């Protein structure tokens, strides 16, 4: 007999091996409890919490090597995929700034220095994690090509979705840069571009963001499928575990930096300069891109959520890896 839909949805959150052992009992017990007048929502909530705990701890998981290898791969995906999801927010926060003049008093304020350091740490961590993700993707693609799975070709094609998305975004970015004005004139008023095509640059910016968001979603979906189903050699799983370490720590660092920057900006009460820039208007003039307060929070909130998920995935991946190696021998 099928349990109500909410209970079934909560049960679906448990791992398959767990449902095989306890699924029928749980369905029966929830029917009995519902007949006693227990709220279905509360029962489903308790099952959801139980499912999360079971997935985190792997309690009573059969000691079968293939199950533990899958657990390691899925945990690596949980540790790394939040990075992909959060990148558009970070890029929006870091690039959505306007050039403006900053007063000397603002520059002298200690919070300016704090937020500048926070911004630079964020940039560095983003770069490190990007390199880790690129290296990890290379290892994943190699692992999928050597996987034992019968539908290997299908998975190999899916593993290339992030690369295709990245190249599309890069292409649009370069196309936009070629359309951006480089020279301006100013007769005491606003800057007037002398070259480039601002309208085309704007259209390309919209296209870039559309492709970025679509590419991120498609990459998360394809990588989640590939990591779960491709039974790749252990050597490649170990690379994935290392990548998970880099990604989780970088995300945590970025999350802390974003909060520090946001608090500094809130304390200061007005935008804080974080990036020097120079524009050419017949002669070089100095300018600064201040990161507005909403920009900091736009990065801080998703980054913290992503860091929590990523660190949890990393923790599970480390433990699952130890058990996998115990069961299968060293990679």
Residues that bind other proteins (CB under 8 A): 10, 18, 21-22, 24-30, 32-33, 42-43, 45-51, 53-54, 59-60
The least CB distance from residue 330 to other proteins, in Å, is: 25
Task: Give which of 186, 275, 239, 196 is closest to 72, Cα–Cα.
Answer: 239
Report the 10 Å Cβ neighbour count for 304.
18
- Which residue, 46 or 183, is less far from other proteins as judged by CB? 46
Q: Cβ closer to other proteins: 30 or 222?
A: 30
Tokens of 225: 């499928």
Whose Cβ is closer to other proteins: residue 56's or residue 124's?
Answer: 56
CB of 78 to other proteins, least distance (A): 20
Assign 193 to helix, strand or coil. Answer: strand
Minimum CB separation of residue 63 from other proteins in Å reads 10
CB of 310 to other proteins, least distance (A): 24
Least spacing, CB of residue 27 vs other proteins, in Å? 7
Instruction: Look at residues 131, 153, 145 and name the one whose alpha carbon lies nearest to residue 243.
Output: 131
Q: How many CA atoms lie less than 13 Å away from 125 in the CB half-sphere? A: 26
For other proteins, give the closer residue by CB, 21 or 156.
Answer: 21
Whole-number CA gyration radius for the chain: 25
Backbone angles phi, psi at 88, to 5 degrees: -60, -35
* 8 vs 46, beta carbon nearer other proteins: 46
Cβ atoms within 10 Å, residue 100: 11
């Amino acid at each position: 007999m099928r349990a109500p839909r909410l209970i079934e949805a909560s049960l679906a959150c448990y791992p398959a091996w767990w449902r095989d052992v306890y699924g029928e009992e749980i369905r029966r017990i929830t029917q009995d409890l519902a007949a006693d007048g227990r709220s279905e929502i509360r029962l489903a909530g308790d099952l959801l919490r139980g499912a999360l705990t079971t997935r985190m701890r792997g309690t009573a998981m059969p000691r079968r090597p293939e199950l533990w290898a899958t657990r390691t791969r899925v945990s690596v995906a949980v540790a790394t995929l939040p990075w992909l999801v959060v990148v558009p927010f970070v890029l929006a926060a870091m690039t959505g700034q306007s050039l403006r003049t900053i007063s000397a008093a603002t520059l002298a304020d200690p919070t300016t220095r704090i937020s500048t350091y926070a911004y630079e740490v964020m940039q560095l961590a983003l770069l490190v994690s990007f390199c880790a993700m690129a290296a990890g993707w290379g290892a994943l693609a190699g692992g999928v090509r050597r996987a034992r799975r019968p539908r290997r070709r299908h998975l190999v094609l899916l593993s290339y979705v992030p690369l295709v998305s990245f190249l599309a975004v890069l292409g649009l970015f370069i196309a936009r840069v070629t359309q951006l004005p480089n020279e301006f004139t100013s007769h005491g008023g606003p800057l007037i571009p002398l070259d480039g095509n601002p309208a085309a640059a704007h259209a390309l910016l919209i296209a870039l963001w559309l492709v970025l968001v679509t590419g991120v979603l498609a990459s998360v979906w394809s990588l989640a499928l590939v990591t779960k189903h491709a039974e790749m050699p252990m050597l490649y799983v170990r690379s994935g575990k290392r990548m998970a370490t880099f990604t989780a720590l970088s995300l945590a660092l970025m999350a802390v930096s974003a909060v520090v920057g946001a608090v500094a900006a809130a304390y200061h009460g007005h935008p804080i300069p974080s990036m020097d820039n120079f524009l050419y208007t017949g002669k070089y003039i100095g300018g600064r891109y201040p990161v507005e307060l909403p920009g900091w929070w736009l990065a801080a909130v998703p980054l913290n959520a992503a860091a929590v998920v990523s660190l949890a995935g990393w923790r599970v991946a480390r433990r699952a890896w130890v058990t996998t190696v115990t069961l299968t021998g060293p990679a």
